[in-house]
Structure 1
Amino acid sequence: MFIDLFTQSLLLASTDDATFLSVLASQVLLWGRVALGIGLVIFVHELGHFLAAKTFGVKCEKFYVGFDVPIKIGPIKFPRTLGKFKYGETEYGIGIIPLGGYVKMLGQDDDPRKAEEEAKRIREGGTDEDSPETLDPRSFPAKPVWQRMVIISAGVVMNLITGVLFAAIAFGYGVSYNPAIIGGVTPGGPAWRAGIEPGGQVISVGGLNDDQMHFREMRMAILNEGLESPEDPIDIAIRYDDGVRKYKLKTDPHPANADMRMIGISSPVSLKLDKDSPVMPGSAAENVLGENDAGATIVAYDGIPVKADSIVPSTPFFDYLYSHPDKPISLTLRRTDDSDHTVELPPQQGKTIGFRYGISPIRGLVEDGPAAKAGVKVGDRIIAVGGDKNIDAFGLPLTLSSTTEPISLTLLRGESDSAEQEEIEVELDPALSLQTVSTTSGLAGEIAVNRFGFSYEPLTMISSVLPDLLSQSTAASDTKLEVGDEIQEIRLTLSDDQLPKQLKDERFEQVVERLREGWKPNNEIPLASLVETLQLLPEGTPLRVLATRSPSGRVIEATATVQLDERVWSERGLALTASESTQTATSVTSALSLGLREGKRRLSDVFRFLRMIPQGQVKLRHVGGPLAIVGIAKSEAERGISAQLLFLTMLSMNLAILNFLPIPALDGGHMVFLIAEAIRGKRLDEQLEMKLTMAGVLTILLLMVVVFANDIIRAF
């Protein structure tokens, strides 16, 4: 891990020595904090065992963070420790393998191979009948059962106590978090179907009640409730400016991972421009905002002041932005020097690669929304809007987003090959429904027209080809793409040297990588996400398009070029930061109370997770190992001391509970043996203990193999 980090540092560093040293120093400091934090959690656990053992007079021969096992690869022999020293009768050190720690007490060894040797070592006397065999009084087995129970459980107790203290200190500093406020609802998702409006603050989810609920806590509660009882609705209470509204929502599977559950709520975005990159390259915003606008805050739009005291001040602005995609909008910005500056943000010119996409049958309806009230049903196919049959998936919401008049829809109802298929016409009255996210922002790839309360999916079938915009060539024939062709792949073929300057921006790295791999229709990257991605590409970018033609199934290969479209796009390139709040304890008592609450929640998460595994609600492939822990620890450390302390709380609670599972070789396994000894009045058979311990060690090793494999699979 350190070697990989060092390599990254070299790659990131510039040729300037000062910059290189600065980057290297910051990385070393960061990883030092990560190591110190994880090491501290392990240290306090072992310290609990150590202090309890010393209290009862047990001889402690070693105190180690990490394991000091011999490692030899061919002729190379690695040191067992990173450092050690002896003070009194105890050897203290840091082992070469950073996967835990241990306290070696006289007469106690978790290695089954050494159990018999250790048992012999603590026996005294026994040479004749007048001198019966006794145990060394300073050995662990010589102590009463209750003292041994205290020693074994002391590590867990220390983790529980320090976990609460970590959280208390974090809240003392102040914890920055994304509040559980509804910034938008996913088109077609459960929240969208229930008619939940953006702009409210979630204050209750299932059994979790909190007036200052964090978005992360809300998401985890929804995930856990959904996994435990996927068929049961979740009780949710949301506070709006006009009062509290309550809902019962049944979760949906996550489009990219069916094992996860969601209700389709996104966190809010603030009205503050990013201080480093306030605009997206090539966007409408780039043409009107300058360096002095970095970090500025939008305080008014088209003369409408932002209400800073509302729950979500940005909600009306985004509704206005997405409801007027073809209208220039005047923005009043308050810069970081407190001066006000006004700019006119023009519409964003859309981009295309030369064809339009078909529209699926209706996928979702808002309860009591305009479409549902008019009699529209899921499965109906839209064939005309206001008599116009020239409709396509991405053009329809742009047309209807600002409509204030009723519209007529011509629908086909019934199976396409059924004699009972009928054509019907309905009239929809628009509703005052907020549109605070792009119509294409759905994780499942659905597109919603909030004003009329229906959603659908864009199809990969070409509905029309635009003249003079599609340059095509094929290796197999001179056939051009036609209406009805099904898109199978879109791929970027440019090399690094051929990439336009705009695409070399680090913000486009993931986009370029995905397009080079070739986009294919799937749930992970739906068609709507692809079309959004195409808006980021510069004009003239060539793409290879593969399509199949029905009914022959022949593969058509064409080259499409990114060109300006005749219509606008809803996004305009404003790079706004996430909405954040800070929760700070007002006193020591308040800090301890918040720390205790955080500790209880993390404990509850661990118990719930353990309960769901045997029930098959959580798969082993979702379990992370040491590499995942280090990765999360680094991410949290980068966010600041409070985030890192909360991570250590989570880690402490996990270590406390997992280490106390009734598995031989773990503290919980030792406790089971001690409970059996207390009940029987004598120790279990040593051979049986040794066999059970060996089985426990093998179980732990097998689990380690699984979690390491999961970590490696995620990494690559």
Structure 2
Amino acid sequence: MFIDFFSYFTSFVMPIAATDDPGYLIAFLSQLSLWGRVALGIGLVIFVHELGHFLAAKTFGVKCEKFYVGFDVPIKLGPIRLPRTLGKFTYGETEYGIGILPLGGYVKMLGQDDDPRKFEEEAKRIQTSNGDGDEEGPIELDPRSFPAKPVWQRMIIISAGVVMNLITGALFAALAFGYGVSYNPAIIGGVTPGGPAWRAGIEPGGRVISVGNLTDDQMHFREMRMAILTEGLDNPEKPIELAIQYDDGVRHYKLRTEPHPENNDLRMIGITSPTSLIFNKESAAVPGSAADEVLTNEDAGARIVAYDGIAVNSDLIVPSTPFFDYLYSHPEKTIELTIERADGSKRTVQLPPQRAKTIGFRFGLSPITSLTDDGAAAKAGMEIGDQIIAIDGDTQLDAYRLPLELSSSSEAVTFTVRRGEAAEAKELDIELNPETTLQTLSTTSGIGGDIAINRFGFAYQPTTDIVRVLPDLIRGDQAPSDQELQVDDEIHEIRLVASDAELPPELKDERYDPLLEKLREGWTVDGSLPLGTLMETIQILPEGTPVQVLAIRPSNGHTIEATMTVQRDDRVWSERGLALTASESIQQADSIPAALSLGVREAGRRLSDVFRFLRMIPQGRVKMRHVGGPLEIVNIAKNEAERGISPQLLFLTMLSMNLAILNFLPIPALDGGHMVFLAAEAIRGKKLDEQLEMRLTMAGVLTILLLMVVVFTNDILRRL
């Protein structure tokens, strides 16, 4: 940890020494300020906890010998011996300091030490004469020692740290709400294709005001998601009740959660947060996209105020809903956008369709995977498992072209489906009449890989078998060879073979790193990420980029390795590259009582989160990847501090609640362990056997040390 910090620090110091560019100095000072705020925030939480112990001890006349934030332990790295403290001073009878090991803090009271090895030594220190010289008489304790105080006073001293964390945690949150908290509101921007919310017919554009037992007119999306997650984990078979406020009233639903496609330990109902109509401040468009052709750097931070002459209605709960429905329902249409810049000036641009890219073949359709309740398909008799084999007589079906053709359909469409297997299979013609529904997400945006056509109320998945090869894109009119892809070949893996030098500069962005890394490793189509994500990744690659395709030929079981290139397709892609920001709201208290009320509520919710987490541990629902140690705490603290003062204060609230509850667990050497010993003493009327208490404390210390090793290791592995 010290080496990591030293490397990070010198990465800024060295350039400053090598250049006169003031930008390096500004960057260094900015990072120094950031890390200073992080250290101050975490240190403050530890400080107030120990301050609680200190003030309570002083109130009852206990002598406090040390007050430390951090532990002043000897640390030796080979021949290097680190100082025990970063600074210390003595005032009165107490030594105050900052320890070299930033993993907590302590108040050393006379007669009390959590190190079992010092039990006997500490016990002898506080023994005094009985006053008449009789060494055989009863042993008296120093009246200013911790053990000499009544049980009730010692209980208050031990619990005071937790109480201080609870109080200051609520105050941190109150300050945050007084300053103003920016948050993503619990508004439905879209419903994931094929998910529980999609099947229930929940429409975008509503505000969630109730989830289970959580009711809040200004609910944060994070709170809603956490409530759904925990309710789903606690009662996976029990439907969750939702109340959603729309512009025309409140609608009520009961939904059963489902495992997250990418993580079975999580539960979801398939609701996504909304996107605003405000362009990103850094860039208004994704490089190389259709939007990049018409938007400029001056448009960054601007907002869309009209599209094809339709003014954006800012009075709606989600003003962006009609726009996205229009955008995704007209994928092949050039749309006129009216945008307003920060200076108030307006201009119009013609946003063309986004031309798709391909690697030379088409994917087929799986059987129907989901139906919308009371949707067009369900009402017409279509069933899950039906295999679409023709649409209006056309048998040339393509998983990614179909939604483009049907997303804006206003006429009845006849679907020919095959129902049943083998000899029992039969073909049916089902006529579907499209319904007016909102399409605010790309039809391929399902995290589980589903492709949904909302107007007709059904969803399917792309298959891994090739239904068409595009010879004009890979070899002209030449006949295919045995080593080239053919219809019915099953795609197994796609690998990026282009070097970094062959990729355009705009792809050298950390946002693309995970996807490109997965492509370099070999993207297996039956892996954790759906095929739709792979196709979206193909769209960002420049034309001519070589990729290696590994396929299996079912007729003979042979493996085919073909090198394909990314090419311009003859169809469009639903995403056009608009770089829009997430919808945000500001929740700000208008008075001190209101801020305190919000602070107490926030502290209570974070307390509930901790209790819920602890309750799930013995149930086996908490995995190691859900647990973070000191390194993860610092990382989160840094991220929140970068966002501003309010996010950092809310993080300190969360940290305070965690510190309060975890410190009060009944583990010897922690505050909760001391309380158990004191409670036993109060019940028995005398102290526990010192040897038993020492052994239990030693076991507690070893448990804590083992836990620290585990969480530290987990933090390190998380970053490898």
Q: TM-score range by the shorter chain?
A: over 0.9
CA contact (8 A) 1:502 1:538 kept: no
CA change 1:427–1:478 in 2 (3 A) is closer
The aligned runs of 1:77-476 (5 Å cut-off) are 77-125=81-129, 128=134, 131-415=137-421, 418-470=422-474
Hey, what does 2:8 align to over in structure 1?
5
Secondary structure in 1 matching 2:251: strand
2:487 is aligned with 1:483: yes
CA contact (8 A) 1:180 1:267 kept: yes
Q: Distance in 1 between matches of 2:98 and 2:567?
A: 61
Secondary structure in 2 matching 1:239: strand
CA contact (8 A) 1:444 1:523 kept: no
Query: In the TM superposition, what is the alpha-carbon distance from 1:471 to its structure 2 partner?
Result: 5.8
CA contact (8 A) 2:283 2:297 kept: no
CA change 1:507–1:622 in 2 (3 A) is closer
Hey, what does 2:697 align to over in structure 1?
693
Structure 2: which amino acid aligns with 1:35?
A
Q: Distance in 1 between matches of 2:13 and 2:194?
A: 46
CA contact (8 A) 1:471 1:561 kept: no
CA contact (8 A) 2:503 2:542 kept: no
CA change 1:290–1:432 in 2 (3 A) is same
Query: In the TM superposition, what is the alpha-carbon distance from 1:619 to its structure 2 partner?
Result: 2.6
Q: Distance in 1 between matches of 2:474 and 2:387?
A: 28
Query: In the TM superposition, what is the alpha-carbon distance from 1:7 to its structure 2 partner?
Result: 5.8
CA contact (8 A) 2:211 2:243 kept: yes
CA change 1:607–1:11 in 2 (3 A) is farther
Hey, what does 1:498 align to over in structure 2?
502
Larger CA deviation: 364-373 vs 515-524:
515-524
Q: 1:705 aligns with which of 703, 706, 709?
A: 709
Query: In the TM superposition, what is the alpha-carbon distance from 1:288 to its structure 2 partner?
Result: 0.9
Alpha carbon RMSD of aligned pairs, Å?
1.7
CA contact (8 A) 1:471 1:560 kept: no
Report percent identity of matched pairs: 72
CA contact (8 A) 1:256 1:523 kept: no
CA contact (8 A) 2:364 2:462 kept: yes
Q: 2:522 aligns with which of 512, 518, 523?
A: 518
CA contact (8 A) 1:622 1:710 kept: no
Query: In the TM superposition, what is the alpha-carbon distance from 1:620 to its structure 2 partner?
Result: 3.9
CA contact (8 A) 1:613 1:620 kept: no
Give CA-to-partner distance per residue, 1:414-437, whole Å, 9 cap, x none. 23xx32122212111111110001
Secondary structure in 2 matching 1:142: coil
Query: In the TM superposition, what is the alpha-carbon distance from 1:522 to its structure 2 partner?
Result: 4.2
Hey, what does 1:597 align to over in structure 2?
601
Give CA-to-partner distance per residue, 1:241-287, whole Å, 9 cap, x none. 00000000111101111000011101000001112111011111111
How many aligned positions are there?
A: 710
Hey, what does 1:682 align to over in structure 2?
686
Hey, what does 2:657 align to over in structure 1?
653
Hey, what does 1:69 align to over in structure 2?
73
Query: In the TM superposition, what is the alpha-carbon distance from 1:572 to its structure 2 partner?
Result: 0.7
Secondary structure in 2 matching 1:247: strand
Hey, what does 1:540 align to over in structure 2?
544
Give CA-to-partner distance per residue, 1:640-677, whole Å, 9 cap, x none. 00000000001001110110011111100100100110
Structure 1-normalised TM-score?
A: 0.97
CA contact (8 A) 1:228 1:617 kept: no
Larger CA deviation: 245-254 vs 452-461:
452-461
Structure 2-normalised TM-score?
A: 0.96
The aligned runs of 1:45-56 (5 Å cut-off) are 45-56=49-60
Query: In the TM superposition, what is the alpha-carbon distance from 1:188 to its structure 2 partner?
Result: 0.5
Query: In the TM superposition, what is the alpha-carbon distance from 1:4 to its structure 2 partner?
Result: 4.6
Secondary structure in 2 matching 1:573: coil
Query: In the TM superposition, what is the alpha-carbon distance from 1:360 to its structure 2 partner?
Result: 1.1
Hey, what does 1:629 align to over in structure 2?
633
